[in-house]
C-alpha cells in the first residue's frame, strides 16, 4: 500500500491536472498583477487629496520594499513547507494590508498600510512562478502561456481603467476594497488546486538578519533619493549621511552573504553565470517598467492634459505592450536555440522609443506617445519570461524556489530604486513641491513646460536603464532548455 502510494505521488501529473493547478495559481497571480496596475492612474488624485506629493512615491516604494525583503524568505518557506500554506498566508496578509489602505486617513497611514500589503503581495507572483517552475519543464512552458496571457492582459487593461474611473468618479479607496472579494476567490481556488501538487520539501534556514540589512540599506537609499532636492540639498550633510549609511548597510549585507551558513542570497545561486547576468537584466527591465507606469499618469494628466479616466486608457499601450512582448517571448523561446535574440531586439526598440520621447517631451500627439509606450512595453516584456525561465533552467530543482526568490528580490529592488529615482527627477526638476501646484497642473491652470522638461530626463534615465538590461542580456549564457525535470548541473 505504501509503495503504491509512493508511486502515485511520484507519478507525473496529466495535462488536465496541471491545468487545474495553473488556473488556481493564476487567480492568486491576478490579485497581485491587478494591484500593480490599478493604483498608477489614481496616484495623482491620492497625492492631491492628502496634500502630499513629495511622499507620493512612497505609496509604491513601501509596497516594493517589503515585497523585496519578503520574496526570498517566501521562496525558502515554499521550499521548506511546500507552496500551498505559504501562498494562503501571503493572500491573507495582502488582504489585511488592502483593508488598512482603504481606510487610510493620511499619507503616512497609507504608506505603512502599503508596506503591510507588500508583505503579502511580494510572495504571490514569486510563489506562482515557483509553482510553475516545479510543474512544467522549461521547453514545455509555452503550452501554458495562454493562461499567463489571460491574467496579464486582463489586469493590464482593467487596472488602469478601473483606477482612473474610481479616482475620478467614485473614490480612490475602491482600488483597495476590490481586493477583498478577489482575494477570497483566489484563496479558495488556489487552496483546492494546490492540494494536487506533488510535495517537494527541502530543508532551509531563514536569513532574517540578511533581510533586515538589505531592507535597511534600501530604505536609506530611497530616503536619500526622496529627500534630496526637496527636504534637503543634494550636497547637504543629511543626504550624504543617508548615502553613507546605505553603503555601510549594503557592505554589511555583502559580508552576511559571504559568511552566513545559508544567506538570504545564496552564493551557490549567485555563482551561476546565468543568474549573475539574468538577474540584473530582469531587475533593470522591471524597474523601468514600474517606474514608468507610476510616473506616466502624471505626465499624461499634467503635460498631455488628460483626465484620470483618460490617462487610464492612455496607459494601456504600455501595459498591453508588456503582455504582448512577454507572451510572445515565452511562447517562442522553447522553439529556438538562440532564445536571447528576441529580448535583445525588443530592448533595442524600447531604447529608441524612449530616446525619441526624450527629444520631444512636449508637442507629440497622444497616439505618438501611446505608440512609444507600446514599443517600450513590448521591449520590456520580452526580457521578463526569458530571464526567469533561463534562470530556472540553470539551477537544480532543490534551488528552484530560492533562485526564483532571488530573481524577484532584485526585480523588486530595481523597481523600488528606479521608481524613487524617477520620482526624484520629476520633483527636483519640475518644481512641483505642493499639492496646490499639482492641482493647477491637473486642471490645466499652470505652465507645463517645467514638468515636460523633467520628464525629458525621466525618459533618458529609462533608456539608460534599458541599456544596462540589454548589456546584461547579451552577456547571459544561452544554455539549452531542459525538456524534462532532470536536475540541472550545479554551477562550476
Q: How far apart are CA 403 and CA 392, in angstroms?
A: 7
pLDDT band at 489 (very low <50, low <70, confident <90, very high): very low
DSSP readout, 209-269? HHHHHHHHHHHHHHHHHHHBTTTB-TTSHHHHHHHHHHHHHHHHHHHHHHHSSS-SS-HHH
Q: What is residue 131's predicted lDDT score, i.e. its pLDDT?
A: 73
Q: In Å, what is the CA distance from 382 to each residue of 95, 142, 328, 375, 473?
A: 31, 14, 7, 11, 11
Q: Quick: pLDDT tens for 113-135.
A: 988 888 888 777 767 766 776 66
Q: What is residue 198's predicted lDDT score, i.e. its pLDDT?
A: 59
Residue 11: is its pLDDT beyond 50?
A: no
* Nine-digit cell string for 396: 537544480
Q: What is residue 464's predicted lDDT score, i.e. its pLDDT?
A: 94
pLDDT above 70 as % of the chain = 77
Helix (H, G, I), strand (E, B) or coil at 474: helix
Residue partners of 181: CB distance under 8 A and separation at least 6: none
**H-helix or E-strand spanning residue 49:** helix 43-50
Per-domain boundaries in the chain: 15-192+264-475, 208-263
pTM greater than 0.75: no
Q: How far apart are CA 86 and CA 84, in angstroms?
A: 5
Residue 86: is its pLDDT beyond 70?
A: yes
Judge whether 456 and 466 are in contact, CB under 8 Å. Answer: no
Q: What is residue 7's predicted lDDT score, i.e. its pLDDT?
A: 41
| Radius of gyration, CA atoms only, the chain | 22
Q: Which has the minimum average pLDDT: 158-167, 242-251, 285-294, 464-473?
A: 158-167
pLDDT band at 490 (very low <50, low <70, confident <90, very high): very low
Q: Quick: pLDDT tens for 412-449.
A: 778 778 887 888 788 777 766 544 555 555 555 456 77
Residue 300: is its pLDDT beyond 60?
A: yes
Residue 175: is its pLDDT beyond 70?
A: yes
Q: What is residue 333's predicted lDDT score, i.e. its pLDDT?
A: 75
Position with higher pLDDT, 76 vs 328: 328
pLDDT band at 354 (very low <50, low <70, confident <90, very high): very high
* Nine-digit cell string for 95: 488582504
CATH number of 15-192+264-475: 1.20.1250.20
Give me the mean pLDDT over the 2-14 stretch. Answer: 46
Judge whether 417 and 291 are in contact, CB under 8 Å. Answer: no
Q: What is residue 134's predicted lDDT score, i.e. its pLDDT?
A: 66
Give me the mean pLDDT over the 456-472 stretch. Answer: 92
b (16+ CB within 10 A) / e for 69-83: bbbbbbbbbbbeebb
Q: What is residue 167's predicted lDDT score, i.e. its pLDDT?
A: 75
Q: What is residue 441's predicted lDDT score, i.e. its pLDDT?
A: 55
**Average pLDDT of every residue of the chain:** 77
Q: What is residue 32's predicted lDDT score, i.e. its pLDDT?
A: 73
Give me the mean pLDDT over the 42-59 stretch. Answer: 74
Chain centroid to CA 99: 21
Residue 348: is its pLDDT beyond 90?
A: yes
Amino acid at each position: 500500500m505504501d509503495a503504491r502510494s509512493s508511486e502515485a505521488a511520484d507519478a507525473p501529473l496529466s495535462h488536465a491536472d496541471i491545468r487545474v493547478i495553473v488556473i488556481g495559481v493564476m487567480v492568486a497571480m491576478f490579485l497581485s498583477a491587478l494591484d500593480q496596475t490599478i493604483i498608477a492612474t489614481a496616484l495623482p488624485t491620492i497625492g492631491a487629496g492628502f496634500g502630499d506629493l513629495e511622499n507620493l512615491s512612497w505609496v509604491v516604494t513601501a509596497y516594493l520594499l517589503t515585497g523585496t525583503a519578503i520574496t526570498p524568505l517566501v521562496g525558502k518557506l515554499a521550499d521548506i513547507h511546500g507552496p500551498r500554506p505559504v501562498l494562503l498566508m501571503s493572500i491573507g496578509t495582502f488582504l489585511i494590508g488592502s483593508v488598512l489602505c482603504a481606510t487610510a486617513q493620511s499619507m503616512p497611514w497609507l504608506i505603512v498600510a502599503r508596506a503591510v500589503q507588500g508583505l503579502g503581495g511580494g510572495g504571490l507572483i514569486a510563489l506562482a512562478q515557483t509553482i510553475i517552475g516545479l510543474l512544467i519543464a522549461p521547453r514545455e512552458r509555452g503550452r501554458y502561456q495562454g493562461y499567463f496571457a489571460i491574467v496579464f492582459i486582463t489586469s493590464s487593461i482593467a487596472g488602469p481603467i478601473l483606477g482612473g474611473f474610481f479616482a475620478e468618479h467614485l473614490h480612490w479607496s475602491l482600488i483597495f476594497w476590490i481586493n477583498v472579494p478577489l482575494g477570497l476567490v483566489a484563496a479558495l481556488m488556489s487552496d483546492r488546486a494546490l492540494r494536487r501538487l506533488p510535495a517537494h520539501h527541502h530543508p532551509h534556514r531563514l536569513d532574517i538578519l540578511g533581510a533586515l540589512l538589505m531592507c535597511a540599506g534600501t530604505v536609506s537609499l530611497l530616503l536619500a533619493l526622496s529627500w534630496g532636492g526637496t527636504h534637503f540639498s543634494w550636497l547637504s550633510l543629511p543626504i550624504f549621511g543617508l548615502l553613507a549609511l546605505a553603503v555601510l548597510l549594503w557592505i554589511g549585507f555583502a559580508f552576511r552573504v559571504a559568511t552566513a551558513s545559508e544567506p538570504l542570497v545564496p552564493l551557490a545561486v549567485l555563482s551561476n553565470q546565468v543568474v549573475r547576468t539574468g538577474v540584473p537584466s530582469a531587475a533593470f527591465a522591471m524597474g523601468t517598467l514600474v517606474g514608468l507606469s507610476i510616473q506616466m499618469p502624471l505626465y499624461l494628466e499634467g503635460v498631455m492634459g488628460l483626465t484620470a479616466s483618460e490617462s487610464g486608457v492612455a496607459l494601456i499601450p504600455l501595459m498591453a505592450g508588456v503582455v504582448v512582448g512577454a507572451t510572445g517571448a515565452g511562447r517562442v523561446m522553447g522553439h529556438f536555440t538562440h532564445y536571447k535574440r528576441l529580448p535583445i531586439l525588443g530592448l533595442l526598440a524600447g531604447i529608441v522609443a524612449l530616446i525619441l520621447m526624450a527629444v520631444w517631451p512636449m508637442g507629440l500627439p497622444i497616439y505618438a506617445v501611446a505608440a512609444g509606450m507600446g514599443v517600450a512595453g513590448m521591449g520590456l516584456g520580452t526580457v521578463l519570461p526569458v530571464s526567469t525561465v533561463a534562470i530556472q533552467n540553470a539551477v537544480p530543482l532543490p534551488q528552484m524556489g530560492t533562485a526564483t526568490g532571488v530573481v524577484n528580490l532584485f526585480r523588486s529592488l530595481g523597481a523600488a530604486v528606479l521608481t524613487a529615482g524617477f520620482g526624484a527627477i520629476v520633483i527636483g526638476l519640475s518644481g512641483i513641491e505642493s499639492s496646490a501646484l499639482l492641482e493647477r497642473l491637473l486642471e490645466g491652470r499652470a505652465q507645463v513646460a517645467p514638468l515636460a522638461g523633467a520628464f525629458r530626463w525621466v525618459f533618458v534615465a529609462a533608456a539608460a536603464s534599458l541599456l544596462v538590461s540589454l548589456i546584461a542580456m547579451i552577456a547571459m549564457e544561452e544554455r539549452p532548455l531542459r525538456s524534462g525535470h532532470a536536475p540541472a548541473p550545479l554551477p562550476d
